Structure 1
Amino acid sequence: MVNHNKPTVAIFGGSFDPPHKGHQQIVEKAAEVLEIEKLLVVPAYLNPFKTSTLADASLRLSWCHTLFDGIKKVEVTAYEINEGKSTATSQSVKHFNQTYHVKYLIVGSDNLATLTQWHEFEWLNEHIIWVIATRENTHLETKMLTNWILLPIDVPISSTQIREKKDLQLIDKKIEKSVKNILEGQHPMTIEERIANIVKLLDEKKAEEIEVFNLDKADYIAKRVVIANSLNGKHTLALFDHLKKEIKLQGDTMIASDATDEWAVADLGDILIHIMIPEYRQRYSLEVFLSELVESQKNRNSDPA
């Protein structure tokens, strides 16, 4: 039995591969017209009807945060992405029903053809109101739906054209460069964006004294080195495991790695990451060596001879 004393919410899920102005219009309009306290945007790790995505999960999540975080009532959630697999919509609805009353489920009109194939469609049909986002004068086959309402929009809602034609007209300027890089097969993030993400991942798991060394102009095996303290040996391995999992989601690969309780090293090719207990960091003084390396390169570059 649903507890209607819980906050009423709508869910808008999808691949968001990439998110575009159609998605933005849906989110903005739904947040405005639906009688809800919150709209949950739920990017999928992998759509159950697809075998792959253009952009990795963490990048699609980042795009959604960039576009939707500033909209009143809207919350972007990583629930399905954190599941690390295809997640049925019914599972997500049941998960969020533990905290909220999920009243509405927002879908594009292009989903109607396959709705009855969704896992536990009958259960969903009984427990939620379908919100169908569609352009005007679109024929809709809704006989199988128990309760539904229309959400009229005037922008195409499919990401397929963007991917196939590399058409950026419907992409917001805030993420246009990143989407363009993906479409052109480049790394989804610059090295500075990757470093910022690594620092964020370490910081959110309580790593201490995080330092980043820029070695672009030094004669060294990597362009950046990140050094961080763990609290203890168990924490070293926990930080390393968290980092390994999350950077894989963003499309990075550890070329090599080695982890013990005292010291963990991750080699991403152009980035080296060291996680150490404080005693080891003090003993080996890596930052002293790296600082001297940077300084010596500066001196060579400034030497008029």
Structure 2
Amino acid sequence: MNIAIFGGSFDPPHTGHELIVKKALEILDIDKLLIVTTYLSPFKENFCAPADLRQSWLAKIFEGIDKVEIFSYECDQKRQVPTIETVLHIKSLYPDAKLFLIVGSDSFASLPKWNRYDELCTLVEFVVAPRGEFTPPKDLKILPINVNISSSKLRSFLDHRFIPKAIENEVIAFYTRNPMDNRIERIVTALSDKKAEDIQVFDMTGKDYFVNTVVIATTMGERHGLSLLDHLKTELKGAGESFLHVDADENWTVIDMGDVLIHLMTPQYRQKYNLELFLKEREDEMKKVRGVE
């Protein structure tokens, strides 16, 4: 069995990625092509679109295409995963397979910096997709294309020509949203993933409050709040969030992210302190100050 591995952040996927997959299927003698979405690239500090959304976009683009599989291993780990780890995992699933690793020419130039590069070279045969000027070494497999678009450039100008039609509307809608909306969605999703209950978001912008947004969630018990805190750190620090101050105990954890404040409270503490009422009163008070009915 021959398997090609094509990894990347895909933030967002673009027509260059489509072309790479198409050419790989055409010229490589492979039985399967695994598209591996990184949770967070080892060479990047953050991502824009969350991993599950990027995977959803890829699934829509390549739906029904024979031999292509969206491979979730790295996303499932919820952390940065070096390529060598993914390759070894695939090797454990398909011990007799020959593995091809598809990389862009810019990545190929930096391969010696990759984790356990020498070992990686013994496990895969590299296949390079050129971008811009590139003089390949002798005997290197090349995809006969030239991809002159990158995800970072596409995020900057959202040119319709480079966005796959299957996801065009979703991509444009996501990257033109208010950045705060994206941040709050990540927070709410992370809390929901770990079973936080009754999650409420309060927009305090223009209400003379010291943060712009307050998020309140109920924990299922004392230890659950601390578990939620750990999960938020894992999920949000990769997206570039800063935890300026954390006041944590088993009943009430307060997380200060500068312009966002998160309260994680046991049911008893949430009922006792009734923060929702306080925030609503703050809103009503500011309406009176401004003469707004």
**For the superposition of Structure 1 and Structure 2, which TM-score range results when normalised by the shorter chain?**
0.7 to 0.9
Counterpart of 1:155 (choices 135, 147, 150) is 147
Partner of 2:17: 23
CA gap 1:43/1:273 in 2 versus in 1, 3 angstroms = closer
Give the match for residue 79 of structure 1: 74
Partner of residue 240, structure 1: 229
1:75 Cα deviation after fit: 2.4
Q: Does 1:131 align with 2:146?
A: no
Shift of 1:130: 3.2
TM-score normalised by the chain length of structure 2: 0.73
| Residue type of the alignment partner of 2:194 | K
* Cα offsets for 1:223-242 (capped at 9, x unmatched): 21111111111111000111
The CA deviation at 1:20 is 4.9
Amino acid of the residue matched to residue 226 of structure 2?
A: L
Residue in 1 aligned with 2:204? 215
- In structure 2, relative to structure 1, the CA distance for the partners of 1:208 and 1:178 (3 Å cut) is closer
Give the 3 Å change call, closer, same or farther, for CA 263–195 of structure 1 in structure 2: same
Query: Which residue of structure 2 aligns with residue 267 of structure 1?
Result: 256
TM-score (norm 1): 0.71
Match of 1:90 among 63, 74, 84: 84
Residue 223 of structure 2 corresponds to residue 228 of structure 1? no
1:250 aligns to what?
A: 239
Gap runs ≥5 in structure 1: 48-52, 182-187
The farther-off stretch of 55-64 and 206-215 is: 55-64
Aligned to 2:100: 104
Contact 2:51–2:75 under 8 Å retained in 1: no
* Counterpart secondary structure, 1:75: strand
Tell me: CA distance 1:225–1:110, structure 2 relative to 1, closer, same or farther (3 Å).
closer
Structure 1 residue 278 corresponds to structure 2 residue 267: yes
> Once the two structures are superposed, what CA deviation does each residue of 1:250-303 show, in whole Å capped at 9, x if it has no partner?
112122220000010011122111001111111111112222333444455564
| CA distance in structure 2 between the partners assigned to 1:289 and 1:119 by the alignment | 51
Cα-to-partner distance string for 1:207-237 (whole Å, 9 max, x where unaligned): 1111111222423222211111111111110
**Structure 2: any 5+ residue segments left out of the alignment?**
63-67
Aligned sequence identity (%)? 34
> Cα gap change, 1:27/1:234 in structure 2, threshold over 3 Å: closer, same or farther?
farther
In structure 2, how many angstroms separate the alpha carbons of the residues matched to 1:138 and 1:272? 48
Q: 2: CA distance between counterparts of 1:198 and 1:238? A: 14
Partner residue of 2:46?
56
Task: Write the deviation string for residues 88-112 of structure 1: whole angstroms up to 9, x where unpaired.
Answer: x322200233345573311123445
